[in-house]
Each structure stands twice: as C-alpha cells, then as structure tokens.
Structure 1
Amino acid sequence: MRVLSGLLVAICLANAHPAQAWAPQRLGVSEETLLSHLENGWPIEQAHYSFCIHVDIDREGRVLPGTKLSSRWAGDRPPPPPEPTTQDIWRKDRDRMLELAKGLRFRPVTWQGAPVMAAGRLCFPRSMVRVEDWLPNPPAFPGIKQWDDVEIGMRRARCLGCSIYDVWITGAGTVVFSGHSTALSGKFKTSIPPSKVQELVERFRQARFLAMRDRYDMRFPHQGYTTLWLRIGKLEKTVYSSTYSEELGRPAIFNDLANAIDDTTGTVRWVKGDPGTVPFLVTSGTDLASPAVVALAQEMIRTGNAQVLIGLVDQDLPLDQVVDANGLNFWSDSPIGNLPLGQALLMMSLRDNLPDLFSRMQAKGWVKRTPPPFLQRFRLTNPDIIRALDAAGIEQPYWPPEQVVSSPEKCSIMSWPSASQVSGAEETQLLECTQELLRRGVKLDRPEMDGYRYVDHAALSSLKVARYLLSNGPQPRLPPDDNGYHNLDIGHDATILTLLEAGIDPRGRDGTASALRKAATKKPLPATLEWLDAHGIH
C-alpha cells in the first residue's frame, strides 16, 4: 500500500505540473540578493540595529509605491509597545525609510533568465533613519581643575535577573568592579593610568554626554539596561538607557561610551572570562579555593572557555572540590549529580575535544580517578585523546560512521545545517561539506531523532546546495510539518520553488500542503504561493 500511495502522489504531481514553462510573477529574495542588485553598489550598512521595511520591486528595478513597513525589525526584536510617543517616532521612521527606498534603483531580478517582480527586506542604518533626541539647552562641559574631583561610573544588566555589574573609575585611575551573576562575581579593585581616565572624559565631552536626556526607557518587561554617570566637581550627570531605547531617540554614541568604559577597564575578565582573568587573580592574591573562583571554573566549563580553565589548572586550582555537574552542559539521560572539579574538567576536555586540557588532567591523575562510564559518553574526534584513552584501557563505544564529525571539524552531520539560509562563505562551506560527506559515503538521508534529515536541511539552506543535491545526491524533501519551516525567511522562495519545479512533493504528514502554505503566507514566499495556486495544491 505504501508503494502504491507513493505512485499515486507522483502521478498526481505529474498531472498537476503543466508541460508549458511556468514563471512566477513575484519572487521573494534575500536581503543579500536585494543589495547585490542595487545600481552603483550603494553601500547600505548591515547592523543589528538597522531599521527595515519590506519592498516590492517591479521588472524595471523600481521600488513600487505600495511598499509597506516590515512586520519585523532586523534581529527579530519584539514589537513596539503601544505608547503614543513611540508610535509617533515609528511613523516618522516608516516615512523616512519609504522616502529612502523609493530613491533607490535596482537591476531587474530574474528567474530562469526572465525579469520578474521581486519582494524582499531592505534595512537602513539607524543613522540614516532615526532622529536622535537631545536636550535643547544643555549645560556647558566644565573645565577640570583637580582630577580628584572626577568620577566615571557604569552599571550594566543583561536582563532582569541576569548578570549585573558596576564599574567606578576615579580621576587618579582607581577602578572598582562589583559583579553579580558574572563569570567572576564579587568586588575587585585594580587601576589604569590617569591618562586613560583623561581620554574617557574627553570622549564624554565629544559625545555631548551632558546634552543627553536623563532617561531613555522602552519599558519592556525583563529588559536589560545600561546606566552611565559622570561627576566633575559639583556637576553630576546620569543617563539611563534600556535595551532598544535607540528607538526612542537615544543617541547611538551612548553605546560607544559604555563600550569604551568596558574596554578601558577590562571588564570582560570579570564578566565573561578572557586571557586577563587568571593573571588578575594571581596578581591580586585571590585564593583559588574561594567560592568565587570555583563558581568561575563552573561557568567556564558550562560555556566552554578552555583558555581560562587551562590557566587555572596551571596555577594549581584545587581540583578535589565538589561541584554540581548537572548545569555544566554534559548531555545525560539522567542527573549526573555532584562531581569533583577535576572530573568535571576532564569530562569537558572530552566533550569539547580539547587535547591541551585533557593532557593536563591526565597528568594530574584524573583519568585513573574517573569511572569509565563518564569517559565513554562523548563522541571523540581528537586522535591524541582517543589514543590516550585506549592506552589507559578505556574502550570507546562504537559510533556509526555517519555520526562522526570529520577532521577538520568543519563538516559534521550532527550539527550542519539547520535550514537557516546561508550565503557567501557560509554557503560555499556548506556546499563543500555536503560534497565531502557524499564522497565519504555518509548517508545524508538518514533521519535524525526529530525525523528530519541532513539532505532536507541542506537543500533548504542554500539554492546552490539544493541544485547540487537534485543532480548528485539523495533527493531532498520539504518539511512534513510546521516546525520544519520555522527558520525560513523570504529569501528561501527561490530555493523552495526550485525544489517544487524539480518534482519534490510539497505535501506534509497530513496529506496537504497546509504547512508550506502557512509558511509561505507568513514569511512571505510569494512565488511559492503562486506555484501552489497554479498547480491546485492545497
């Protein structure tokens, strides 16, 4: 019955597919494709905080008058809150973007050599769209007679309940950091040259800090925020900025000031951990057995920061301390429980295939002290680690060849791809990886745990890869349900249309094309909808 059902589907598709050439009236294209068709190659900045609209372009390359504001901002940010003040600002943004877009001219987009209408998202840098909001009559920036009367400060929070830290800088160069839920939590003191403080004060002056409003607040729930303050003698100024408050007119240079404070004081060594973390701990005389350092080691295991961990091990970090291993990103069917820190570090070296960390843990005797089941749960790819475990009598379980990451580790059937559209160097890498996996005899059509297959994700990720697989590899399928279309955007239109034109069945598990239709309506994928309508597939 299954074979007969498949034959009936193929016959239906063949009958629904007319012999004459079919071409879309309107093709959805990616932002990269749209920019590549700009005449004169006008450089539009690509940034997370760009403002975007959906545009329709006619066959001559002109933006149509009916262009509407995009339903999404760049970076998939949340929709704006319904406040009259912000609505007024966004209405001005829309009008400005429409004015900019209609002044552009594109080379015609083509499908199989013929010009077609195109639809896509076009993003403009914030500096071209947003009018920044400044105080009309700010005070003059004062001269500095005594640097002891100068103080710079900052507080940053990722979100409510997330990491938060404060930095204080005196005119003499003293730096005090206080962090909560940071990689290295607690209060720490260091110093910078007074000349660096003077450079920061000059940046505040050039940024017109005193002309900024005291508060730029979007009032989103659970949002992050940054507060900057400056004191010069009796003059004090504090500016609060919530996440996304640039949409309320917060000057873009505010973030530059905050980043300059981070860079000058080196907060990353406390907030995330970097090459300066361990030297700071050593020079400051911090006890490596302290709870703060143990918490730092756990966070570095969780995030995979081997550089900091190797530095700690080389400084004789106490490894017998017991830590909770359940939150350290060790995949397990059941809770792992508490482990000595040395075992957790050894397991991380296996999880992330880190021979430098592994060799240190082996030299300290942790391979012998760790139960074999803990050393047999990871898919190893580093030959040095594999040989060392074999020599220690730790037999590794057999993994099917198609589940093993290649060496070098750029081509992995376990992690590539995710049906997100790729372009440029990423598209080239995906194509090369797909070709390499096929040469190695890997079964690209083997279903994963979620029922999807590498070949399907790869075909949706790239038009080039889709065409290659249609000619050389196992035939891809379109996703059978809504989840498979989660990562699609308007730029996937040409890829899906190519698969449909090649005879790939658009019907899902329910026997209809409802999942594809829903995605094509939402994203939107205009050519895909046209094809389904033209072929009577619902």
Structure 2
Amino acid sequence: MNLLRLGLLAPLWLLSSAQTAPDPQVIGFPSAVVEAHRLSGSTTVIVPPSRHAGQVELQVMIDAAGKVSDVRADKSAGDFGDPAPAIAAARQWTFRPFEYRGRPVAALATMWVDYRFGPAWADPQAAFPAIDYDTLRIELSRSACFGPCPVYTVSIAGDGTVTYRDDSDEEGAGVVHRIFNRNGTLVSGTHHAKIDRAALDGLIEKFRAARFFGLKKEYQAPITDSPTYALRFSTGAQSMEVVDYVGRMVDMPEAVTALEEEVDRVSGSARWVKGDETTLPALLAEGLDPHSLAAADLALGVHGPGGDAVVLGLLAAGMPLDRMVRGAQAPKAEPLGLSLLATALQDARPKVALALIERGWLTKMPVPQRMALFAQTAGGCDPAVARAMVAAGVDPNARIPATEDFGFLDGGSTALHVARTRYSACRELEDRGPLVRALIALGADPNAADGEGETPIYGIEDPDLLATFLASGARTDVKDQNGNGPAFGSWTDLIALMLLEAGADPRGKEDGKTLPMIAKEKNMPATRAWLEAHGIR
C-alpha cells in the first residue's frame, strides 16, 4: 500500500480554506498499512507453558524516522499475563517512515504480538524406524470445522499407491458441517493415483528430519470450532499418529504443519479437494462422461478458481448447458448454463464467467436476476467481467434488491458498495482500486446511496481506495439516514482525517456520541487535532 499517493489529493483538500488545519504531527494509521511499513522485528514471542498462548494487543507510537518511541499494552483487549515480553519485542521493530501529504509524520498503530510456546517433542532422540515398503502407509486426515473446511483422508502406500477418500459418510460433527458447507471438497467418493519411488522417499526423509516418532501424540489448543488434522506413519510393527488441533497455537513444532502440507503436495490431493488441471483428465480416465448428470454435478460443485480448469474442460468437451438442474442457491430448476454463470459470478471466477457470457448465457438470464447479480458481485469482482456484463445491457448502477438480507451490505447497495468492502463477494481481492475505477468508468455512480443513505465511501478502511473514490468525484458533503456524514463511517484516524479535510461534516452523533467524543474514545489524535483547530469540541 503506497500512502505517498495520498499527496496527489492535496489540491482537492485545499480548495476550501475553511476545511484546512495545521499539518498533523501524529496520525493513527490502519493496521494493514502499518504492517506493510514494518521492516524488521518479530511479532511472535516464545513464552513458557506456564503462561497463556494468544495475542497481546499493543498501542505503538512510531516516530517520523520509523523507530518505535512508545509502546503500551491494551488490557481491555484481553489479559495474557505479563505484557512485558510483547512490549520488549515491539521496541525492536523498525518501519519505513510514514508520510502524509508528502511530509513525515509520527504514526500511532494498533498491533498484535503472538505469545506461543516453544516447540516440544515427547522424545526428541526417538529412533526413526527402518522402512518396510510392503507395510508402509503414510496418511493425513482433515476433519470438519465451523465453516467450509475440506473433510477427507489421503494415504500413500509403500508401492506409491495414493488413495483419496472424502469423508462425507462419517458421523459426528461432520454431519452439521455438511448441512451448511457441503463437504468442503470438490470430488466425492474414493479415488486412486500413483507416485514414483523418488517422491515417496523424499516424503519419508521429511518425516525423518522432523523427528516424527519423537513428537507428542497430541497438540491441542484451548479453542473450539476448528478442524482437527491427524498424521499417521506406519511401517512394519511401528506406528505413530500425531493429532494437530490448532497445534501451532501451543507447542507444536512448525515441522508438523510442513509435513501435512507435504503429504498433500506429494499425493496430489488438490486434484480432488480443490480441483486443478489434473482433475478432469483423471476423472475422464475413470470413465466420467462429460455429457452425464455426474459431470453437471461436478461442475456445479466447483467453488474457487482451483476448479476453473475442470469447468472449462467440461465446456470444451461439450457438456450440455441447457440441461435442467437445481443449483445450491437456485429456488427451482434452471438450465445448467445459468446456474454455472451465477455461481461463477458469486465466487469471483472470471475465466468461467467470461466463457459462459461469451456463450450467450448472460443474455438468457432474466433481467432482474442479472441486474441483482451485477450489484451483489460487483460485476464478478473483475473489470473484464464487469465490462462484459455492461456491454450485454446490465445497468452499472443496478442495486441489490431492497428486500434482501445481504449480510454486511444493505438492500439498495450498488456494485461500488460491494467492491469497496472486504465482507463481500470480493473478499479475496487484494487491490480493489482497478475494479472500482473500472466500475466508475462504466458509469457506476460513486455517490449512489444504499438503503441506509450511505454512499460507497462510508466504511472504507483502505486509504488508497478512499483516495481513488475522492479523485473519481465521490462527494463528502452527504448524510446518511441518521444525519451523519462519512467521517462517522470509520474509526480509523487517517480515514476520518482524509474525509474531514475533503469536506465531510463533523457534526452529528453515533449512538449518542459526538465525533470529538468518539475521537477521544478511539484514540484518534489527528482527528482530534483537526476538530480542535476548527473549534469543534
């Protein structure tokens, strides 16, 4: 994130002398911006098991040269015992100097230090067994969680045979998990593959180097709702299983996580779990018919870009798109092409969306549905998809239906509201600037208000994105249904300052509190300085 770009807006802010104030000496910057400026120092502290593992929240002052000048623990954020180790670690941090309007400033930041236990083995000198390839079996199981965690087991035998099984028939917590999250995997059932001896031996050496047979049998963190991972290594009469339940939060060595990932990589489990370029060839070799209902179900089950190769391959193989199906979110049966297009837009998979739009499926979609999808997904979270949808007749100012409950977004929101928030279909998008600029270029109104009267600049936490909106004509002299301007839409000091300097009205109340009261409560020094300079107390 390049805050130097903020200097480009100085002429815009200085148009009204009534809104200017002396240059701020200290500004509270968003945590993401501060982390991007951090040059050195660790955010992890190893503590003895007698202490709590967890995060210590710190208020950190960074001087204009990028050195930490003061650190204080925020006790209200949780008590993890003595904050002194976290404070000592923070004092070692160095940062790239912060600037505002081209001038150096001190930065105030909220940052976190992880307290973790040191890695522990039950017997670090335990011998690694001799390998009997006839009985060798390496296995990884991943369980359900309170979310879309993949549930499967993959094993590798001594002859290189890989066996993958999705555990959709298992009882217990996975039952509830599947009701709301399917099974978290793309391909159901049991499948096989083969790896060569060199790959297998390389994996065995990773287990040996990790001193696997000397690990503790269980590493369990004191939390809930997370997945359980189990690694098993058996050869001859010797067998070892290590259970990992958020083990990195306690005393589990990093090597265990590395082994879990290596078993996945060597076995090629991604072809069944997420989908990749090897998935469809493997399934076709097993007898999958691209024209079958099973192929349609497979295409409908793809979520995330990993499965793009699967869907695109099925399209190229002639999968019939006019087959009537009922997708996961479709209230009634509809053509497969429509269901696939809706899913691709909702999952931000532009390659599949564009392929289906090129085949004419957007124009076959009912107008209200395509308008709502454009708004709900910010044009598929992709400039090229947004342009294709508008070229096909979609209104760039289409809105989410006012009657819909759409999570963090209000009814009446437009694609720009969706594009600017991380709690949306575009949550995986790192840089939202290109999408926002593309939508505005297509005619999306940066001043359109949602059902609460808020325009897209309300609630922005990314200063570069706010700068993009302001440079594109977003007005700051607007009010929501409560009579508050956009300065009340964020408790990040830098964001509020930018909005105030751009003309946002500081008058109003949020939950009975004025902006000066909020700025004091939230420790927003630059905002407080601006308000005091303008006689607003």
Determine if the TM-score, normalized by the shorter chain, exceeds 0.5: yes
Structure 1 match to 2:90? 101
Deviation at 1:272, TM superposition (A): 1.7
Structure 1 match to 2:60? 56
CA contact (8 A) 2:516 2:536 kept: no
Q: Which has the larger radius of gyration?
A: 1
Matches within 5 A, 1:230-309: 230-243=233-246, 245-286=247-288, 293-300=295-302, 305-309=307-311
CA contact (8 A) 2:63 2:69 kept: no
CA distance in 2, matches of 1:344, 1:356: 14
Q: Aligned with 2:134: secondary structure?
A: helix
CA contact (8 A) 1:419 1:461 kept: no
Structure 2 match to 1:323? 325
Deviation at 1:236, TM superposition (A): 0.9
The percentage of aligned residue pairs carrying the same residue is 25
CA distance in 2, matches of 1:504, 1:386: 32
Structure 2 match to 1:494? 494
Q: Aligned with 2:419: secondary structure?
A: coil
Deviation at 1:447, TM superposition (A): 1.3
Q: Aligned with 2:162: secondary structure?
A: strand
Pick closer, same or farther for the CA change 1:436–1:291 going to 2, 3 Å. Answer: closer
Structure 2 match to 1:157? 143
Deviation at 1:531, TM superposition (A): 4.9
Q: 1:193 aligns with which of 193, 196, 202?
A: 196
Pick closer, same or farther for the CA change 1:151–1:20 going to 2, 3 Å. Answer: closer
CA distance in 2, matches of 1:53, 1:261: 35
CA contact (8 A) 1:512 1:537 kept: no
Structure 2 match to 1:312? 314
Structure 2 match to 1:7? none
CA distance in 2, matches of 1:419, 1:147: 49
CA distance in 1, matches of 2:89, 2:202: 37
Pick closer, same or farther for the CA change 1:530–1:210 going to 2, 3 Å. Answer: farther
Deviation at 1:322, TM superposition (A): 4.7
Pick closer, same or farther for the CA change 1:37–1:479 going to 2, 3 Å. Answer: farther
TM-score (norm 1): 0.68
Structure 2 match to 1:174? 161
CA distance in 2, matches of 1:488, 1:252: 37
Structure 2 match to 1:68? 73
CA distance in 1, matches of 2:226, 2:344: 35
CA distance in 1, matches of 2:315, 2:62: 63
Measured against aligned partners, the alpha-carbon deviations of 1:336-377 in whole angstroms (never above 9, x if no partner) come to 312343553466678867343455688xxx999x88987787
Deviation at 1:70, TM superposition (A): 8.0
CA distance in 2, matches of 1:501, 1:374: 40
Structure 2 match to 1:42? 40
Deviation at 1:140, TM superposition (A): 0.9
Q: Aligned with 1:149: secondary structure?
A: coil
CA contact (8 A) 1:184 1:293 kept: no
What are the ranges of 5 or more consecutive residues in structure 1 without an aligned counterpart?
1-16, 73-78, 80-86, 329-334, 390-395, 404-410
Matches within 5 A, 1:435-450: 443-450=445-452
Measured against aligned partners, the alpha-carbon deviations of 1:455-507 in whole angstroms (never above 9, x if no partner) come to 4456x531684498379653365877799899957xx3123123324542134
TM-score (norm 2): 0.68
AA aligned to 2:355 is D
AA aligned to 2:87 is L
Structure 2 match to 1:3? none
CA contact (8 A) 1:419 1:457 kept: no
CA distance in 1, matches of 2:356, 2:389: 10
CA contact (8 A) 1:70 1:121 kept: no
AA aligned to 1:170 is A
CA distance in 2, matches of 1:141, 1:18: 75
Deviation at 1:413, TM superposition (A): 3.2
Q: Aligned with 2:163: secondary structure?
A: strand
Pick closer, same or farther for the CA change 1:440–1:529 going to 2, 3 Å. Answer: same
Measured against aligned partners, the alpha-carbon deviations of 1:398-417 in whole angstroms (never above 9, x if no partner) come to 625688xxxxxxx9636432
Q: Aligned with 1:241: secondary structure?
A: strand
CA contact (8 A) 2:396 2:439 kept: no
Structure 2 match to 1:224? 227
Q: 1:413 aligns with which of 404, 411, 416?
A: 416
AA aligned to 1:183 is L
Pick closer, same or farther for the CA change 1:465–1:19 going to 2, 3 Å. Answer: closer
Measured against aligned partners, the alpha-carbon deviations of 1:141-200 in whole angstroms (never above 9, x if no partner) come to 1232x3112110000125157531001111110111111322111111221112211111
CA contact (8 A) 1:169 1:176 kept: yes
Pick closer, same or farther for the CA change 1:214–1:529 going to 2, 3 Å. Answer: farther
In the alignment of these two chains, the number of paired residues is 463
1:399 aligns with 2:395: yes
CA distance in 2, matches of 1:261, 1:123: 32
1:337 aligns with 2:332: yes
Q: Aligned with 1:447: secondary structure?
A: coil
AA aligned to 2:339 is A
Deviation at 1:66, TM superposition (A): 5.1
Deviation at 1:217, TM superposition (A): 1.2
Backbone CA RMSD of aligned residues: 4.9
CA distance in 2, matches of 1:185, 1:486: 48
Pick closer, same or farther for the CA change 1:316–1:222 going to 2, 3 Å. Answer: same
Q: 1:183 aligns with which of 169, 186, 191?
A: 186
Structure 2 match to 1:118? 107
Pick closer, same or farther for the CA change 1:290–1:520 going to 2, 3 Å. Answer: farther
Q: Aligned with 1:190: secondary structure?
A: strand
CA distance in 2, matches of 1:342, 1:19: 53
Deviation at 1:252, TM superposition (A): 1.4
AA aligned to 1:54 is L
